[in-house]
Chains A and B, each alone.
Chain A
Amino acid sequence: MSRQWHTSEAQAARYAAGSLPEPDAWSLERHLESCADCASRVSAAVRATAAGAVLADVRAAVLASAVREVPVSRFARLLWAAGPAVRGAWSAALLVVAGAALLLGQFRGAPEARTLLLALAPVVPVAGVALSYGPHADPLHELAASTPGGGLRLALTRTAGVLAVSLPVLTLTGLLLPASGAPAAAAWLLPGLALTLATLALAPLTGFRTASAVTACGWLCAVLAPSPDEIGARLARCLDGAPAQSAWGAAVALSALLLAARRTAYDRTH
């Protein structure tokens, strides 16, 4: 737009005072929409009138609402993004498992309490993941699937939430139970992580329910069946010692690699 004229100080002052007659005011208003210099001049003139106080108030209010968010609230949002499982029935189930193990260890003084806990513990986060993400678990899934953050990012956030709750609770519970020859209380951490990541890597192919059923049943079958009275020995073979733990470490790495390779599959759901 071409511009042949600019606002004079006198005209700006009259407009600011509200005394500029209508047609001239219209021309001025149209002009201000595209001329930053005149906009500054007229705005300065308005600040000099009684409206100056209001302008200063609004300025403070605008700048106050334009602050960047503090990190705390981002953390809070992450927490409640952690998903339905952490907020719902799964947390209760987790506490039941831990509580039952403690009761068993406390009252019966059963040496197998820690063994049983270690056998079950790797499955707990897998169940949490199954209950946290996917069309069957999340009422918001259809909506989340249409957002850039609703794929792998959301699945990982929710998995992190599940792990953040289950790892300390189950490990501490294990520490409170009598050792009596069972593997160390933290020995289940790598298997738990490996099963969880394997579930995540498998899920885009099969869906979350099937994926978690496969990994959880696989573990339970390997440890519990065929003869339940040899659990202790089998569990020790699976968990005790550097070779077993390094194997689980390798499984974690492999699952993570698989998951990374399949990450784009996450933004397509069925």
Chain B
Amino acid sequence: MGGHREKDDGALLRAVAAGDQAALADLYDRHAGWLHARLTRRCADPEVVREVLQDTFVTVWRSAAGHRGAEAGGWLWTIAARRLVDARRAQERTARGAPEAEAAAVPSAEDRVLAGLEYGDVGTALDRISPELREVLRATVVDGLTTRETARLLGIPEGTVKSRARRARTELRAALAQLNPSPLGGPA
């Protein structure tokens, strides 16, 4: 965009891994803003958001060497989302359900949501489903959290997460069918 060519994420991460503080600062300036906004949309407590953001970049400083790949954004969000869940756990050490195995595969309707998200055609369908179902979808599909993590983030039992995810899937499928009678094609 601008006149000067900036280093891409991959180069920055390599520099961070080599202990370059300036690269960490660049990476922070590029990504901290949107991470903060994204965390704020998911957590009302500004102190927690701040703590999670700081933790995320401290982790990056420490473990950048272990990350392969050119794009940092997805990785940063994975770290931040896990930290947010951890922070929630620390905050509310309330009764938790009996441990059980993780939900197996991601349902196909969710895959379609994921595939469609960048192209906007699912937006209308999402608008039609209720907010609490949307919240569950956001955590599991957009943020890539497991059932257990979603339960902790939203402060609801795992069973509820599962049943809401099922309902969301059904409603979404219905809404999609209304909007788009043919199965959602792969991106052009």
Contacts and interface: CB of A to CB of B under 8 A. Distances in A.
Interface of A: 1-5, 15-16, 18, 22-27, 29-37, 39-40, 42-47, 51, 54-55, 57-59, 61-63, 65-68
Interface of B: 1, 6, 8-9, 19, 21, 24-25, 28-34, 36-38, 40-41, 46, 49-50, 53-54, 57-58, 61, 71-74, 77, 114, 117-120, 122-124, 126-127, 134, 138, 142, 187-188
Given A18-B41, A62-B57, 4 more contacts: A23-B123, A29-B77, A46-B34, A51-B37
A39 B36 CA distance: 12
Contacts of A51: 33, 36-37, 40
Given A23-B123, A33-B77, A62-B57, A67 B33 contact: no
A58 B25 contact: no
A67 B25 CA distance: 12
Contact of A65 (B25, B50, B58): B58
Contact of A33 (B24, B73, B120): B73
A59 B28 contact: yes
A36 B123 contact: no
Contact of A58 (B50, B74, B188): B50
A216 B8 CA distance: 62
A23 B127 contact: yes
B30 A39 contact: yes
Contact of B25 (A5, A15, A44, A59): A59
7 contacts: A18-B37, A22-B127, A39-B34, A45-B33, A46-B37, A54-B46, A62-B58
A55 B36 contact: yes
A206 B19 CA distance: 42
Contact of A27 (B50, B72, B120): B120
B140 to A, nearest CB: 12
A77 to B, nearest CB: 18
Contacts of A24: 120, 123
Contacts of B73: 32-36, 39
Contacts of A61: 54
Contact of A62 (B19, B54, B126, B127): B54
